[in-house]
Each structure stands twice: as C-alpha cells, then as structure tokens.
Structure 1
Amino acid sequence: MIQNGTTIFVSPDTYSAAIGIGKVEFFVTADGEFKGQLTHLNIGRLHVLRAKENLPRIAFLALPPAHVHISFSTNRTLSMFCCGVGLDFGDLVFHSLGQRTHQRTIGEADWGVISLPSVELAAYSKALTGESLRAPSDNCIVMPADEASTVLLSLISKLCDLAEATGKFFFTAGAASIERELLDALVICLSTRNADRPSNSRRRHAEIMVSFEECLTRQRESHLNLSELCTTIGVPERTLRLCCAEFLGVSPSRYYLLRRLNRARSALRDADPASASVSEIARIHHFTELGRFAVAYRDVFGETPSSTLRRVSNKEE
C-alpha cells in the first residue's frame, strides 16, 4: 500500500512510478530540471493524491478496474487536459473503470485524484442520497456547483497541507469523521446533473488514441510510417493527426520522438558513465543517426546527451 506522507522527486521516472494509480507513462515536453511532489493520504476507504509538477508533460494512464478514480486540476488557470478536454478549476473527471487515457499539462501543474473501491462508492452514495453512484461507461467531466467543489477541494487542500507540513499524515480518533466528510463532499459533487458526457466523436477519438499507443509499443523504427500505422489502426491519416492534436497537443511523429527521447534520457540518467556510451543508448532507443539524436535531445531537454550521462543524478530520499 502507498504510504501516507509527502515526497519530492527529481526524476520523472520515479515520480510517475510513485503516483500509484495504475500504470503511468510520463513524458516531459520541455527543458529544465524536473521537480515533482506527491502527497498520499489513505483515509479509511479513500485514497487521496495531490501532485505538483514544474514542467509540462504528457502522460498515458492505465487505471485499475476495481477502483473508481476521480481526477481534477487545482490550478486556477487552465493548465491540464484530460481525455482531450481542458479542465477548469472545480471540474472533476469521473473516469470509467480501467480507463486508459491521456493527461497532459501545458506548464506548471497542481492536480489530484481521489480513488476508492467502486462497491464502496455505490453503497455510500445509496445510503446518503438514495441513489447508487457508479463509474460511467465512458469518462465524463462533472461540473458541480461552485459551493460543492469548493468544499471538496478545500478539505483535500487542508489535509494535504497538513501532511506536507509534518512530513506524514497522522491518523487520529477523528479519522472516521474525516472520511465521512470527504465522502459526503465527493458524493454531492458527483451527484450533480451538470456533466459533460463524451460525444460519439470524442469516444471514437479516445479509442483511436488507445490503439495508437498500442501500435507505438511495437515500433522499432526510428521514424513512424504514418501510412502503415493508420492502416493498422483503421483510420485516415488526417483523423489520427486530429486526435493527436486534441489529446496530446502534438503530431503523431512528434509524440513518438518525445517518447523515445524521454526513455533515452532515463537510460542516460541511470547509466554508469564509466561503462555506458551515448551511442549505445541511442541505438537501443532506435536512434540510428547520433548527430540528429543529439540535436533533438538538446532541443527538448536543453542539454546534450553526454551532459546527462556525466551528471550524477540526485537521488530521492
């Protein structure tokens, strides 16, 4: 089980692995030294996560099917997109069970997730409102009244601030009361009739993007053959480009490049500079021309691959 408390990370890989909401693939899209902070709270049946990041990135999430997940941005400005939709402050993404989807940021981001067993949400909402809340078949954007979202987000902020100030969250005799307060606020928010359910077009685009990710995991070439890839997925090239712009904010080829560059950077950060070489790591990640690799790498991360290899990575405590 994920431990209560807060941790600061300087490696995108260890950060994404510690998010703990299923499988998260995480690709930074701008230069700079990454810094992320995760605060985890286990409160009875609820798990609460608050995340803070300093660099824009694209993430592909594969959520576990037994738990309900509700994600949200806590930035006052538009900084996060989920499932191709920009999130305003107070919007909640009510994810389908086991959903696979993209989440991207366009700058510094603060965001969070609440999760709990799906049967627990159904039972608690039935007792509170007389109606069982269940995860939607397709994710939807819930837009509760300002008063309702303020209660929920303020409570989460207060608890996470306490954990960050003390280094961990201490359970007290009032933990059951805190759980009830959070559940009440969550159910009230999710019970609103004001929700943006995906259109048939957006639902189809989400399916295309999952197929796109599956195809990329099998790619072994340095460049995408978009014609072949689109034939495999069963869509016109124009449609795939439209979907990538909507969900990722970049073209299919650019996203494939960012994936490989991020993975190469992870390998360089973890390698022993005494025995590893940039050219070897570049080849492993399907970069056949070392000069072009170095230029693309510097354009994204603001340093050369050899500089990354030489640097002694900071380790999280």
Structure 2
Amino acid sequence: MDDLTVSTSRVDGFEGFRDAVHGSHVDVMQLQPGRFRGLLTHIGVGDFSLSVGSFSVGLRTQRTSSDPKLIVGMLLHAENRVTHWSYDMDPGDVLVIPPSIDHDGRFHGASSYAALRLDLADVAGVFQGESWMNDPANWRRRNRYRADPRVGAEAVTKLRAIVSRLSDPDGRVSPEAADFWRRAIIDVVTATVMHSQPPTTEPVPSAIRLTRNAEHYIEAAGPRPVHVSEICAECGVSRRSLHRAFDEVLGIGPVTFLQRKRLCDIHSALRDCDPATTTIAEIALQHGFLNLGRFSGYYRALFDEYPSETFGKRYPGRGRLRRPEPAAISTAASPASRSTSPH
C-alpha cells in the first residue's frame, strides 16, 4: 500500500506555478499587473496526484504535449473570465486534458483550481462498472463538462474540505486509508463528468447475489475504509445497479451501508485504543470522516452515545473529543465545515 503525501507552499512569483500540476511542466506568464501571491498544494498516493492552486493575478498557461498522463481539472473559483482552449469555464466546470495533447489556458484575474493527474490505464479500474467512464478511449478527447449548479457547488465544497483536512499536520493518514482518500478525491473531481452521462441499460445480476458479494468484499477488507467506487469495480456494476440491489435487499443504499460499517469499526477502535497514542479525530480520519461535528452526530444517531463516551468507558475521563451539544451538530462555523463526508 502507498503512503499519502501532502506538501503545501506559498508562492511569491508566477515562476512557482510552473509546477501547477505536480509532475507536469506548465509554461506560465503573468499578464495582469499586480503583486503575485499564490498557494500550491500537492497530494500524492503512488502515481496519483492532486494539485490545488490559487493565485492573485491573471495568468497565461501552456502545457506541452510531452506529458503521458491524463489530467482532469476543475475550476474552483474565478474573479474574472477563464478560458481553456476555446472553452469558457465557470466554477465547478471540469476540463479533460488527454495525454500528449497541447493545452493553453487564460485566467483574467485571481483564480483557484484543482487538477488530478493519473495514468490513462487506471481509469478502467477506477470507474469499472461505469460503461462510458471506464473506457480509456473516452478520455483521449479534450473536453469541457459544464457543471450542474448543485453538483458543481457541492463538489467544490467537498474538495476544499478534503484538501484542508489532509493538509492539517495533525491529520495523519495510514497507508490503509490512503486509497480511500485517493478514490474520494477522484470521485469529487469527476462528479460533473459522471453526472453528465445518460443512464445506461445494463444487465443487473441478482440483487441478493450482488449484495452478498459486496458484503463479502467489505468484510475481507477488515477495518480499512472502503469507498463505494471500489465495490463497483470489484463487482463490475454501476453505482445505479449497486444502489438498486442494496435498497432492495437491505432497505438502505451502499453509501449508507459503508458509512455505518465505518462507524462500527470506529466504535471498536475507540473501545480498544490507548488515548496516550491516538485521538478520536485521528481515528475518524483513518475511517473516512472529515468533519468532527457531523461524524459525532452520525455516531450518536447510530449508537446513542457520543464518541467520547465510548472512548471513556475503558479510560474514564480520557476522551479527547469534547461532547458537543446537539445544536452544535446541526450548525457549522464555516462553509468547509458544512460539507458532507465523502463516501
């Protein structure tokens, strides 16, 4: 299993954005007058990388065709017009830059973006079961996907929350959890692409057999968090088919099922771990939860007690997460804290 790595740096000149997409050289030129201020974050898991950048003045960017990797970018914020090739981009829109294709972009003001870079061969495994998205040939054409306002806004909020949490020096992620967060990032960045695809009519296996196979895989994975895209890839079905099967057999969708499985694993971990070596926040992150307020609410709804109460049963008075008031669970201090945890 690969480790998750995170690096964040402040950039005081446009030259620093030549590494705007980790592993891919980008020619950058400042076109708008003003002092350049930027922030650049790279998150990596094995050969996969996510780059998130923000800058204060307008730029011209160009990538040469020598890069063999696929890049999928999402505009997070724009103060003014943004164009890539001949496409106008709005926040939430997604851009596909195929391998070995020249790219040019123009930012007319302060902007922020996210770009994931992965091997084209990996899309078959990442999107297995999604008939259009798992075909590498469909990613060999440059394209721009317009975001549905709701889907795009939710994706931007979720991605900001993931990057903020994973960039926290105290947010250590184990190799066992790294693949979950890799899948969660891909899921968020490509949500607009998936939402744009029409429903497909695929042969659906027996709901009981499909649900049983999924449960066997989840059980074999042990306590590590399992992402819904991983189940689809293992069973070779789309999310729609998996959802129909789980709803028919268990009365809940696979995302809810996986969330409750992770909560059960956290419950067991809280009963067994030593507060001297870990915290509730660390355990929650390892099992795929970003926002502690929401996590605490989910946990109490399932077990009728707060995480700190479970933690304190073995070590009275040693819980690291203060018990929140019920009202604190339904309100949040910032937009990032209102995002839902990825599944």
* AA partner of residue 113 (structure 2): W
Q: Tell me, yes or no, if the aligned pair for 1:72 and 1:87 is still in contact at 8 Å.
A: no
Deviation at 1:175, TM superposition (A): 2.2
CA distance 1:100–1:34, shift in 2 (3 Å): same
Deviations 1:164-208 (A, max 9, x none): 553x9632343222223233444543234469xxxxxxxxxxxxx
Q: What's the TM-score, normalizing by structure 2? A: 0.49
Q: Which of structures 1 and 2 has the larger relative contact order (alpha carbons within 8 angstroms, sep 6+)? A: 1
Q: Aligned residues, how many?
A: 194
Q: Tell me, yes or no, if the aligned pair for 1:39 and 1:163 is still in contact at 8 Å.
A: no
1:161 matched to 2:164? yes
Q: Tell me, yes or no, if the aligned pair for 1:21 and 1:64 is still in contact at 8 Å.
A: no
Residue in 1 that maps onto 2:263: none
How well do the aligned residues superpose, as a CA RMSD in angstroms?
3.1
Q: Tell me, yes or no, if the aligned pair for 1:6 and 1:163 is still in contact at 8 Å.
A: no
Secondary structure of the corresponding residue to residue 104 of structure 1: strand
Paired residue for 1:88, among 71, 87, 90? 90
Distance 2:113 2:40 in 1: 10
Residue in 2 that maps onto 1:171: 173
Deviation at 1:116, TM superposition (A): 1.2
% same residue: 10
Deviation at 1:20, TM superposition (A): 2.7
Instruction: Write out aligned runs for 1:270-285 (5 A).
Output: none
Secondary structure of the corresponding residue to residue 156 of structure 2: helix
Residue in 2 that maps onto 1:16: 18
Distance 1:57 1:187 in 2: 25
CA distance 1:123–1:64, shift in 2 (3 Å): farther
Instruction: Write out aligned runs for 1:1-317 (5 A).
Output: 4-17=6-19, 19-43=21-45, 46-62=48-64, 64-75=66-77, 78-128=80-130, 132-134=134-136, 135-166=138-169, 170-172=172-174, 173-193=176-196
Q: Tell me, yes or no, if the aligned pair for 2:78 and 2:91 is still in contact at 8 Å.
A: yes
Deviation at 1:45, TM superposition (A): 5.3
**Structure 1, unaligned stretches of length 5 or more?**
196-317
Distance 1:30 1:131 in 2: 37
**Structure 2, unaligned stretches of length 5 or more?**
199-343
Distance 2:61 2:168 in 1: 28
Q: Tell me, yes or no, if the aligned pair for 2:127 and 2:134 is still in contact at 8 Å.
A: yes
Secondary structure of the corresponding residue to residue 7 of structure 1: strand
